[in-house]
Structure formats: C-alpha cells, structure tokens
Structure 1
Amino acid sequence: MLSLSNHGFSDTLVILGAAGLVIPAFARFRISPVIGFILAGLLVGPFGLGSLVDRAPWLYYLTISDAHSIEPFAEFGIILLLFSIGLELSFRRLWAMRSLVFGTGAAELFGSGLILAALLYLTGLSTGGAIGLGLALALSSTALVIPIAGTTSPVGRAAFAMLLFEDLALVPIIFGLGALAPNPDGAGVSRLLTTMGVGAATVAVLFIGGRIVLPRMFAQAARTKSPELFLAASLLVVIVASLATTAAGLSPIVGALIAGLLIAETEYHGEVEAITAPFKGLALGVFLLTVGMQLDLGFVASNWAALFGASLLVMIVKVAVTTTLLRFSGARMGTAAETGVLMASPSETTLIVLGVAGAAGLIAPGTAAFWSAVTAIGLTATPLLAKAGRIAARRIEGKNGAQIADEDLAPVEGGTVVIGFGRVGRTVAEMLRRHDKPYVAVDADIDSVVRARRAGFHVLFGDVTRNELVDQLQLGRARALVLTMDDPVLTVRLTKRVRGWVPNLPIIARARDAGHAAELYRAGATDAIPETLESSLQLSEALLVDLGIGVGPVIASIHEKRDEMRRSIKEAAGLQREPRLNRSRLNPSAEPTEA
C-alpha cells in the first residue's frame, strides 16, 4: 500500500504533467486553455480514468482517484489568483469603485439570491434551504471571470466590483447559514459578530504593518539581485496574509487580495507581478482541473434534462438581474449584457456554501449533489458564455450604429497606430491627417468611436486588454506607435510588451509626470512626453512672448529647455533603475481611458 506522502507526490506529478501538456497544446491552436484544463481533469479524475485504477493499477501513476486530495492545490491556486488581482489594483481605485462594489455588487448578489430562493422554495425546499441554495447559486466565479475579462475594461471593471463584494460577503453568508440551521441556539449570530470584529482588526493590522514592513523587505530582496529571493519574499507575504485572515475566521482569499493591494502600493509591484505571473496561470490550471474532476458523466447522462433545465434557469435569472442593475447604474447596454452573460454561471465558492448548507441540515445530501453537478457544468460553460456575451455585445452596439467587429482592425501598412482617442489622441490624429500621414486609432469607448467616425477620423473600437486584438494590429508593419491613454500602469505594460515584440518600432508615449516618463523609458519607450513638462513649457512660452521677447528666441529657448529636461529624465531612468530581475513579458490588463 502506498504511503500518504507517495500519494500526494503522485497527484502533484499528474497535475503538473497535465498543465504542461494542456497549456502549449491549446495555445498552439489558439484555443482557450480553460476548456483544456477542464477536459484534462475529467479525463484523469476519479470519474474518468481514475475509476479504472482497481482494474489497472498502473493507472494510479497517471490519474487521480480522489478529487478531495487536490483541494489544497485548488485553494492555493485561487489564493494566488486573488493576489495577482490585488497587484493590479490600488487603494485609490478601490475607493473610486466603492459605489459599484457595495451598491451594484450587493444588489446583484442579494437580488439574484432572493429570486432563486423564491423559485427554489416553490419546489418544496425549506425557507432556510432555499435561502442558502439561492445565495450559493447567485455567486459567480472569480477564478474564471477575472482572467477572461481583466479588471479595468468596462466589462472587467463591472464584473470585478460585483465579484469583490461576493468574496467579502462569503464569510457572513457561511455564518448566516449556520444561524439558520434547525434549532439554532443563537451561537451563529454571536459567532458572526465576533468574527467580523476580529477580522476587521486583523485587516487593519495587515494594512498598517504592510505599509511599514513591505518596502524595506523588498528593498533588501532587490539589492541581492536574486529572482529566487524576490519570489520567496512575494510568496511569504501571500502566505502570511492568508494565514492571518484564516486565523481571524475570514477567507484566505481576503488575505491574498490584501497582500496584493499592499505590494501594489510599493515601487516593486511591477517586479512582483512579473515574477509571479507564471504561477498565476499554473494555479488557475490546477483549479480548473479540480472542476473537471467533479464532473460525473454517468450522473450527468442519467439526469441531463433536469441538470440542463436547472443550469438554464440559474443563468437566465443572473443574466436578467445583472444586466438590469448595470443598465440602471449607467453602463452601456452592450457592456451590461456582456457582463451579465459572463457572470451567469455559479462559482467555485458555490461548492463551499453548498457544503456548509448541507452540514447545517438545510439541504439534503442528494440536493447538494445535484446542484454541485449544476455548478460544475456552469463552470465548464463559462468560456462559452464569455464568447456568447461578446457576440451579444457586438450585435447590440451594432444596432446603435457602431461597427465594432474585430475584423475591422485591419493593419495600416507603413502607418501610425494611435491607442486611445481622447483629447490627446484626437490632436495627434489631426496632425497626422494634416500632413497626409496614414494612421489608425483604437479606443475602447464606443461612444467616442462613433463620434470620431462621424467626424471623419479612422478610429476603430477595440480593447487592448485582449491579446488577440493587439495581435490583429500587426505592429510589426506599423511606422510608429503612439500611446495616449490616461492610465500610467497600462502605458508601461503595453510599452514593455510591444518593445519585446518589435525592437525597432518607435514608441511615443504620453506620461503623467517626469517619474512616469522615466519608467516608460526604462520599459523601452522611444519618447515619453510628460504632461507637466509640456504645460510648463507652453506657459513659459506665452509669458516670454507677452513680456516682449521675440518669438524666434523664445521658441529656440523652449526647444533647448525641452531637450535638456528630456535628457535629464533619460539619465534619471538609467541611474534610478532598480536591479533587473529575470522576468517574463506581461500582458496588458487595463482599459485605455482618457479624461
């Protein structure tokens, strides 16, 4: 008989082997690896080849016969995913999203949950069971939705706000179900209040301690010029924060999110994000493998009509509620519909809530098993829902007079690509048009695109958070790339990515200030134009002319000062460069927006 350690080691090898085969195989055919991971989990899981281990013992080393044995791997995968999400955020951005998180997010969760609970109550479930099951099914998958939609596109921003509220509400839901258990003694409510108090104190300690400790710790790690030590420090922060929130009674994913937020506020967030990027993809793959392992094809085949009907009912309710709420909050119809469809399936945390409801005696074991299968089917269908949502959004926006098909993103041979078409991008396009230079502009705001096209500009709708869209621009054929987005993080990431693809392409980027310009130069920008520099030079030019100095000498001095300040920024970029670590290129994950 194999020991427990050998059992765990074998499972680890199967997981890593499956991930190593799925990622390159599906990437080669440009197919989402999400489906590949789920199918691989189904194949090697306990309801696939793992069920044949008794008859063919050699399959033990190629399969996993107990899906519960890899649950710790899946949980760690979700923790790393939430950590990476936190790295892409900031406290200022979270504060700006507060109305969307606690307004629309709360309304979406409880609105969908109550409607589903009412429908389930009509089927004969008890009040407590209907509420618990309704809230469980109202949850949506952070692990799948965020990698698909990002966090800063219109769809991603709306989805993330609602998912963030769901993650924060998970612990109160769990304790609330305990209070609804038959013959409660009141301990559930008092335990909930105690947990919330201890949790709030723990979060406060993490915030205060992180701001003091993290900059010093990462500075020491950076001075060693060791990527391994930098990675170890990053993982240590995630583990400590997750353990702290777990000890306080909160979910470990809350600690992971806090860890990412704290590091995002330091100057080392770019290095941390780059060095942990490969682990995020692997962690998501492990989670998806567990989803595939929970699909019992025999059970699905014998109950396919009921399972299909239940899945469809849940999705219809969630699409209707989410789309309606986002429309009332001011989102475009296309964005609201795409977000609603994307978030229609249940969540990985649905399985957690189902387990709690079953343990509390609110639902029967058979009911929990049925809805667990519905959840697994919904998670498997999420990539297809994402595609359907994008198609629906295109058709809806197309009816409003906007042609937003990706096929419109034709490259401009020997021309300039301008990403972002606000006031700065429009001025650049006007100057290119005045000098008869070909160009194509891309913007993610469909209203701006429609207005620009009516004015005669060559502007296309597109979101550079999507890798395939950037590929379609074929920047290798472009004469130059101009980045005018009012998003410092996106500008730096896109500069790094394009510079890795096209080493000789001129990249002219809009910078917020001198520090941002220095960061852009380090990322590979040919020219970085700080807004503060140009505004001060224009003000100086107007002043000198008004003082009676000749226009010629003024313009010459302005050009001289501009060159001097640009050299100073470039020198600062070289002198202030942090020790370079061996890191992979990042994908952009923000929306090009402009004031």
Structure 2
Amino acid sequence: MGHEGQEIFLKDMLVFLFAAGVIVPAFRILKLPAVAGFLIAGVALGPHGLGAFEHLWEPLQFLTVSEPEAAAPFAELGVLFLLFLLGLELSFEKLWDMKRIVFGAGGLQAILSATLIGTTLWLFGVNGQAAAVIGLALALSSTAIVMQVLTSEHRAATPAGRTALGVLLFQDILVAPILIFVSFLSPETGVNIVQTVLRALFEGLIAIVIIVITGRFVLQHVFRLAARTGGRDFLMALTLFVVIGAAVMTGMAGLSVALGAFLAGLLLGETEFRHQTEVDLDPFKGLLLGIFFMTVGMSIDLAVIAEIAPIVLGGLAGLIILKAIVAWGAARLFAGPANVATESAFLLAPAGEFAFVVMAAAAGAGILGPELTTPVTAVAGLSMLLIPLGSRLGQSLAKRIKVPDAPQMPNDDFSEREGHVIIAGFGRVGRTIARILDEEQADIVIMERSFHSVQMGRNEGWQVQLGDAARKEMLEVAGAQGASLFVVTVDDPVSAENMVRAIRTLRPTVPVFARARDAEHGKTLRKAGATFVIPDAIEAGLQLAGRVLQEFGYAKETVRDLIGSERDEEYRKADQA
C-alpha cells in the first residue's frame, strides 16, 4: 500500500503522455492547434469528463487523470518556460522597429479592451478588483495560436500578419506587469489601486535597469565560460539554473515566479546564446505547457458550464464582438486600410493562453473564486478554439473590402534607412532568404527588376522596390549607404556580377553575399568584390549526397557531420580556384 500514491502518479503521467503523443497529434491532423488539442484532451480525460463515469465502468480509471493537482508543479514549469522564451524573443530593437503598431495599435487595443470588459463586469455586479483582473486577462490574445495560424498559412509577412504580431508583442509585454499587479491585489497587501499601479511601475523600472546591467556585464561571460568548458550539457544546466533561480528570487520577494522567468529570458536574449537556448528548451516548453493547458481543461466542469450555458455563450459572444471592434479601430488608426484591420481584428478578438496564467495567479492570490474562474475560463477556452475559423472568416471579409489601386507603382525612397539588409532579386532564393530574415525581425529592402514580382511582393507586405541593383542611383534610393549588408540572389551571371561591382563601388567594405551558378561563376563574383559566394552546384550536390546517405541508413547526425566536413572542403577548393 506504501506505493499506492506513486502508482496513481505514474498512471496519471502515462495519461498525460498519451494525450501529448497520440491525442493531440490526432487533433493536429484535423488542423486544430496544439493548445486547443490539449484543452480538449484535458476536458475529456479529467475528473469532470470521462472521470465522472468511472463508477459505471472501472477500466476508465486507466484513461483518466485521478489527481490533477499532482501535475501542478510540471504545469507551473511549463508556464515558466513560456514566459522565459517570450522574454527571449523580445528585444528593445524589435519593439522600436514596429513602434507605431506595437505601442499605438497594441496599446490602444489592450487598454481599451481591458477597460471595457472590466467596466461591463463591474456594472453587472462583479467586485472591482476581480473585474479589473478579468478585464486584463481577457484583453490578451493568443500569441501561440495566432502566430501558428499565420505561419502555417504563410501570412506572417503580410500587412495583417505584421499588424497582429505588433499588437501581440505589446500584449506580451503587458503579461509581466499584469502579474505584478495581480500579486499586489492580494487581500493580504491592503493597498489601493493607485498605490498598486505606482509600485508596479517602480518595480518595472528597477527590473529594466537590472536587465541592462546584468545582461551586459555578467550573464554573457558566464555562458561563454560554460560553452568553452562544457558545451551544450553545461549550457542547459546553466539555463535551467537561470530560469528557476530568477523565478525563486522573484517569488521570495513577493512577486510572481513567472515574472522571474520572463526577466531571465530578457537577460539571456541580450547574449549570442539566445537561439541555441530556444532550440534546446522548445521541446520541454511544448510538453510542459501542454500539461498546463490540460490541467486548465481538467478544471472545466462541463456539468456546471451546462447549468450556466447562457452566461458562457453570452460572455463568449460579447467578448468576440467587443474585442473585434476595438482591435479593428486600433488597427485602422495605426496600421493601415480597412481590409488589413478586418483581417487582423478577427485574429485578435479571442482570448489567449496568458488569460489562464493570469486567472490562475488571481485565484491563488484569493482575488477570484470558483464562481468567477469557471465561466471566465470556459469563455477563454472556447474563444481560442474559434481562432482558426475566425482567421478564415476575417480573410473572406477582407477580400470583399475594395481598396483603391494606386495609379502607378511608386518607388519608395529608402535612402535615409539605416541598418537594413538589401536583397537583389526576389525569385525563389530571394524569397527564402527574406522569409528567414523576417522571422528574426530584420529590416529588409528588396530590389527587383520584374514589375509583376514587385507588385506581388508588395501585395504580400514586403518592402520591394522596382529597379536594377546594378545601377548606382537605384542602390542609393534603396539606402545603400546605410545598409548593413547586401545579398545578390539573381541567377543571371552577368547581372549578378554587375550588381556586385556596383555595390562594391558604393560601399568598399560592406559585406556582400552572392549566389553563383558554379565554382567558376563564384570565382568571377569574388573578383568582382563579393565577400562570400554560395555556388548552387555545390549545395545541390551536398544536399543530394546527404539524402543518399540517409537512404543507406546513416544516422542524421552522422550525415550532418559528413556533409559539413565536405562543405568546408568544397568551399576551400572554391576559394583557391
């Protein structure tokens, strides 16, 4: 009997893993986002789902979670990783590049939505503090699902995609202050709203100062030491130490542990180890966050919701309508035309994953009771399930809105631009490079000679200029004097050489990356001034060889090492040619 509790825990873990490895992937086949899949799995496998029928058929206990509270520590780790990776993604430079959308549209949408939702609840008799917290929680949208939908549909670089991303960035920034705000609203603190806001602002200012000082003078050197002496194993241990250590410190200071993880992400985001950390932690974050969403789903009592179905459905409809109107107005005012505002509004109208984080923090602080958390959680979860459908509806409505065509294709003047990347050629290779750079929020200016390609690129939201990169005056209009580097992707040998020479004449020392047909063409481009050349023939041969080795049964890691070694040798030969 001494192992009974342990057996229940292991059985529950098996159910969680079964949901993550089988049920959620099955939902993905149906184009359902992973977050929604975990929520549904939690509802179905929880004590209020199949667990409610265990007394009718005993074997159901092996398909349900008996003690959801046992998974709480793992769920909290998922939230910590989510906040940490969110902080890792944010940077002051990224926010400044999109400042009009982020702080204009994002600020207006978040503040106005929270105010209207909170005021409405207060008018319906909800306590002022509870109404404020619920308003802030439901004002946030789903970064995870919206970006997943945009990425899968290749719409992240469109005007609507950029608008949604800008608003989501501002909302993500608000998560940490909201959690501070919730912690100060705890009944034990005994402070009023004004004092709470002022203290939150003061704590935020101190946090920013600590981030800048520690990130620039301490953390980077410690991670470099770990990388030199121990490699990825030590880096992983150090990363976990930073995340959990920061969470413990803020928790001991009376703040949210999630806030500590967020600050740790911002700290590490200032170093060159950011991308490696993202890759290493992403699987853990996905699994642990899935457990968090499953525990949220398990807390949803379907029987209770059925009893208050009019409240839940009314709240769902009111939330979608109110947030859609506010988001449309904010996007229309700061981001662009009506079709862009319409498409982005339908993406931003539902609630998001951070609503559950805020609600859980508020419930733990004693601000919200079950009578409020149950319907609000149900409304938030149901609204998130509607995001894919809302995205398609927004696209359909946006296409029906007529936007007046410009009488001609103007050439935008980027001559004053600084720090951007100029890509010459917007064919298959140019588009691939642009998409990858855009994922990292690089500022990109594209030069293309084909009017049709320019028009298509602009319709997709790219900064494309009609012109030949071999002409110095066109390069100057594209901002050649302030560009950080150039990428020449055209496949015509003569045009590519002329472009490299023109760039090198204007900027003798700027990095110039060029695409070559073969080694001989690469030699010509290097003589013209290219800093680095990628021959198509070499890369095609290496990729084909890699696939052949995999077919022979070589492990992917072995193939990667072999191809990497061969690539170095081929480029060494090409440089000596």
Give the TM-score normalised by structure 1: 0.64
Unpaired segments ≥5 residues, structure 2: 407-426, 436-442, 468-477, 490-495, 509-522, 536-555, 561-577
Q: Which moved more, 1:140-149 or 1:266-275?
A: 140-149
Q: What does the per-residue CA deviation read over 1:235-259, in whole Å, with 9 as the maximum and x for residues that have no partner? A: 3332233333333444344333333
**2:167 is matched with which residue?**
159
Answering whether residue 246 of structure 2 is matched by residue 241 of structure 1, we say: yes
Unpaired segments ≥5 residues, structure 1: 403-414, 434-438, 456-485, 487-510, 521-528, 542-556, 570-580, 586-595
**1:537 is matched with which residue?**
504
Letter in 2 for 1:318: K
Which of 175, 179, 184 does residue 171 from structure 1 map onto?
179
Answering whether residue 451 of structure 2 is matched by residue 427 of structure 1, we say: no
**1:562 is matched with which residue?**
528
Q: What does the per-residue CA deviation read over 1:18-62, in whole Å, with 9 as the maximum and x for residues that have no partner? A: 111135434556553344323222221121222344555554443
Which of 375, 380, 385 does residue 390 from structure 2 map onto?
385
Distance 1:216 1:89 in 2: 21
Distance 2:428 2:150 in 1: 28
**1:324 is matched with which residue?**
329
Letter in 2 for 1:118: T
How many residues in Structure 1 have an aligned counterpart in Structure 2? 471
1:248-259 correspondence runs (5 A): 248-259=253-264
**2:91 is matched with which residue?**
90
**1:507 is matched with which residue?**
none
Answering whether residue 457 of structure 2 is matched by residue 443 of structure 1, we say: yes
Cα gap change, 1:173 to 1:287, in 2 (>3 Å): same
Distance 2:463 2:100 in 1: 27
User: What's the secondary structure of 2:386's corresponding residue?
Assistant: helix
Distance 2:400 2:288 in 1: 34
* TM-superposed deviation, 1:361: 8.0
Letter in 2 for 1:251: S
Cα gap change, 1:83 to 1:535, in 2 (>3 Å): farther
* TM-superposed deviation, 1:311: 0.6
* TM-superposed deviation, 1:77: 2.0
* TM-superposed deviation, 1:119: 2.8
Q: Which moved more, 1:303-312 or 1:343-352?
A: 343-352
Q: What does the per-residue CA deviation read over 1:380-420, in whole Å, with 9 as the maximum and x for residues that have no partner? A: 33343344334444444x66569xxxxxxxxxxxx856425
Q: What does the per-residue CA deviation read over 1:154-176, in whole Å, with 9 as the maximum and x for residues that have no partner? A: 14422323312431331354256
Whether the 8 Å CA contact 2:186–2:367 is kept in 1: the answer is no
Letter in 2 for 1:70: A
**1:17 is matched with which residue?**
18
Cα gap change, 1:565 to 1:260, in 2 (>3 Å): same
User: What's the secondary structure of 1:116's corresponding residue?
Assistant: helix
Whether the 8 Å CA contact 1:154–1:335 is kept in 2: the answer is no
Cα gap change, 1:540 to 1:261, in 2 (>3 Å): closer
User: What's the secondary structure of 1:295's corresponding residue?
Assistant: coil
Whether the 8 Å CA contact 2:107–2:167 is kept in 1: the answer is no
Whether the 8 Å CA contact 1:82–1:257 is kept in 2: the answer is yes
Whether the 8 Å CA contact 1:136–1:354 is kept in 2: the answer is yes
1:306-385 correspondence runs (5 A): 306-351=311-356, 354=359, 365-385=370-390
**What is the root-mean-square deviation of aligned Cα atoms in Å?**
4.8
Q: What does the per-residue CA deviation read over 1:200-233, in whole Å, with 9 as the maximum and x for residues that have no partner? A: 4355334422333333333344446754333333
Cα gap change, 1:441 to 1:329, in 2 (>3 Å): closer
* TM-superposed deviation, 1:323: 1.4
Distance 1:450 1:226 in 2: 42
* TM-superposed deviation, 1:426: 4.0
Cα gap change, 1:287 to 1:534, in 2 (>3 Å): farther
Cα gap change, 1:583 to 1:362, in 2 (>3 Å): farther
Q: What does the per-residue CA deviation read over 1:501-556, in whole Å, with 9 as the maximum and x for residues that have no partner? A: xxxxxxxxxx9449x99xx9xxxxxxxx9999766622389xxxxxxxxxxxxxxx
Distance 2:175 2:42 in 1: 25
1:462-477 correspondence runs (5 A): none
* TM-superposed deviation, 1:316: 0.7
Letter in 2 for 1:168: A
Whether the 8 Å CA contact 2:106–2:330 is kept in 1: the answer is no
**1:588 is matched with which residue?**
none
Cα gap change, 1:330 to 1:196, in 2 (>3 Å): closer
**1:111 is matched with which residue?**
112
Whether the 8 Å CA contact 2:71–2:295 is kept in 1: the answer is yes
